[in-house]
Amino acid sequence: MAGIDIPRETWATRTGFILAAVGSAVGLGNIWRFPFQVGQEGGAAFLLIYLLFIALIGFPAMLVEFVVGRHTERNPVGALKAIAGGAWSYVGWIFIATGFVILSYYSVVAGWTIRYTILGLQDGYLADAGEAEGQFVELASGLDAIFFHALFMAVVIVIVAFGIQRGIELAVKVMVPAIIVITVGMAIYAFTLEGASEAYSYYLSPEWGVIAAEWQSIFPAAAGQAFFTLSLGMGVMITYASYLGEDRNLAEDGAIVIGFDTAIAFITGLIVFPILFTAGVDPADPGAGAIFVSLAAAFGDLALGWIIGAIFFGTVAIAALSSAISLMEVVVSYVVDERNVDRKVAAFGIGIALFLLGLPSAYDLVLLDLFDLFADQILLVLGGLLLMILVSWSLSELAVDELSRGIGDLGSLGPAWIWAVRIPVVVVLIVALVLGILDYYEFLTGPFAEWVGGQ
C-alpha cells in the first residue's frame, strides 16, 4: 500500500491533539457566523436550541469521527476504504471535496478579517452604517480581497508544510490560548459598556413564543451551526484523530473540545451584542457581511473603537487560521497517505489550487454564496450523514470497541451512543439536507440567476 514504509506522524502530547481540535472547532463559525445566526433567528431562543443540538447531535457525531480516525490511522478516503471499502470510499471523497471547497472561500473571508484588523490600526472604521456598508463592499471583493486571500493561504501552506508536530501542534499551542485569553478580556470590556444590560437580556432571556412561531427555521439553522462549528462532516476530526498514537479517553477529549468551542461561541455573544447595542446598531441585520458592516460601524462609533476593533478582528483572523489548517490537513493527508507525495510539495500544490478556486469568491459576493451554500448545506451534511449511517448501522460493534479503548467497558453507554447516532443524528441530518437542497435551489433560481442575467 502506498506510504506504508514511511512512519506516520503522531501528536507529541495529548494537549497538542486537544488544542488542535479546539483550534479547528473555534473559528469563523463561532465569531462571525454564530452571532449573526443568533441575531437572525431571534436571540436567546436560538441559543437554547443550539446548545441542545450541540449536546444531543454534535457530541455523538464527533465521537463517530474520532473512532474512525483512531481506528484506521488514515486520511478520510483511506479510512473509509479500510473500514468499509467499495462504494463507501466515495464518502471519503465527499469529505475531501467539502474541505477543499470550504477552504477556498473560508480563506477569502479570513482575508477580510486581516484587512479589517489593519483598517482598525489605520483608524478607518466608519460610524455611519451606510458608509460602512459601502466600505465593506469595496474591501470584500476585488483586488483587496484577492491580496489578503493570497496572504492568508500562504500562512496556511507554511504551517501545514511543517507537519503535525512542528507545524500544526506548535501553531495551535500559541494560537488557541491567545484566542481564549483575548475573548475573555474583551467580554470583560464589553461588560462595562452602557448597552450591556439591554444586550444581555436580548441574548439570554428566551421568548418561548419565538421558538413556537419560528421553529421551522430555528431548528435547521441550529443543527447546521452545531455541525459546522464542531468541524464535523468533512473529515477534520477523522484526520486529527488518525494522528493519535496512544489509547485514551476519546469521550473525555470530545467533551473538552466541545466545552471550549461552546464557551467561545457563547462568550463571543457577550462581546458582540453589548458593542452593537451600545452603538445603536440592530443585531438582526442579516447577511454574511453583517459582522463586518455592523460591528465595524459600532467600532467607528465607540471611544477607542479602532484599537478594540483591531484586537477583535485580529483574534478572528487567528481563529480562522487555526481552523483553516485543519481543513488543509484533510486534503494534504490524503495526498500524502494515498499518493505518497512529499508533504511540502502537497501543501504547496494544494494551496495554489485553493487560491485559484477562491478567486471567484473574492471576485463577487454572490459567487461566495454559491460556494458557501453548496458546501455548507449540501456537501457537508451529505458526507456527515453517510458516515453516520455507515458507522452506526453497519459498524456499530467496531465503533463501540474502538471507543472503549482507553475508557474500559462502556456498559449501556455504548448502545446509547450508537442509538443516538442511528436515529436522532441521522434524522436531523436528513431534514437538514432536504432543507439545504431546497434552499440552494431557491438561491440558484433567485439571486444567482439574477446575477448571471446582470453580467
Nearer to ligand PHE, 258 or 327 (CB): 327
- Residue whose C-alpha is closest to residue 324's, from 135, 146, 117, 167: 167
Q: List the one residue from 94, 132, 145, 236 that touches ligand PHE (CB under 6 A).
A: 236
Asked if 37 touches ligand PHE (CB under 6 A), the answer is: no
Greatest alpha-carbon pair distance for the chain in Å reads 63
Asked if 234 touches ligand PHE (CB under 6 A), the answer is: yes
Q: List the one residue from 11, 17, 23, 30 that touches ligand PHE (CB under 6 A).
A: 30
CB of 227 to ligand PHE, least distance (A): 9
C-alpha cell at 51: 446548545
What does 211-280 look like in DSSP terms, one character per residue? Answer: HHHHHHHHHHHHHHHHHHHTT-SSSHHHHHHTT--S---HHHHHHHHHHHHHHHHHHHHHHHHHHHHHTT
Asked if 315 touches ligand PHE (CB under 6 A), the answer is: no
CB of 77 to ligand PHE, least distance (A): 17
CB of 324 to ligand PHE, least distance (A): 7
Asked if 325 touches ligand PHE (CB under 6 A), the answer is: no
Nearer to ligand PHE, 195 or 269 (CB): 269
Q: List the one residue from 101, 146, 161, 327 that touches ligand PHE (CB under 6 A).
A: 327
Q: List the one residue from 239, 326, 392, 404 that touches ligand PHE (CB under 6 A).
A: 326
Asked if 76 touches ligand PHE (CB under 6 A), the answer is: no
Q: List the one residue from 72, 231, 268, 333 that touches ligand PHE (CB under 6 A).
A: 231
Amino acid letter for position 445: T
Which window, 8-16, 21-29, 52-60, 301-309, contacts ligand PHE (CB under 6 A)? Answer: 21-29
CA distances, 117 to each of 54, 106, 326 (Å): 31, 17, 23
First-to-final CA distance of the chain: 49
What does 315-356 look like in DSSP terms, one character per residue? Answer: HHHHHHHHHHHHHHHHHHHHHHHHH---HHHHHHHHHHHHHH
Query: Under a CB-based contact definition with an 8 Å cutoff, are residues 173 and 159 in contact?
Result: no
CB of 409 to ligand PHE, least distance (A): 32
Amino acid letter for position 373: L
Which window, 28-36, 57-65, 141-149, 188-196, contacts ligand PHE (CB under 6 A)? Answer: 28-36
Asked if 25 touches ligand PHE (CB under 6 A), the answer is: yes
Say how far residue 329 (Cα) sits from the centre of its chain: 14
Asked if 111 touches ligand PHE (CB under 6 A), the answer is: no
Asked if 155 touches ligand PHE (CB under 6 A), the answer is: no
Asked if 54 touches ligand PHE (CB under 6 A), the answer is: no
Q: List the one residue from 17, 20, 21, 24 that touches ligand PHE (CB under 6 A).
A: 24
Query: Under a CB-based contact definition with an 8 Å cutoff, are residues 418 and 396 in contact?
Result: yes
CB of 54 to ligand PHE, least distance (A): 12
Number of residues that bind ligand PHE (CB under 6 A): 15
Distance CA 63, CA 388 (A): 10
Phi, psi of 216 (to 5 degrees): -60, -35
C-alpha cell at 349: 500544490
Asked if 268 touches ligand PHE (CB under 6 A), the answer is: no
- Residue whose C-alpha is closest to residue 421's, from 437, 400, 405: 400
Which window, 133-141, 228-236, 301-309, 350-358, contacts ligand PHE (CB under 6 A)? Answer: 228-236
C-alpha cell at 118: 489593519
Asked if 49 touches ligand PHE (CB under 6 A), the answer is: no
**Cα angle at 297 between 296 and 302, to 5 degrees?**
95
Asked if 228 touches ligand PHE (CB under 6 A), the answer is: yes
Q: List the one residue from 16, 29, 274, 351 that touches ligand PHE (CB under 6 A).
A: 29
Task: List contacts with ligand PHE (CB under 6 A).
Answer: 24-25, 27-30, 102, 228-229, 231, 234, 236, 323, 326-327
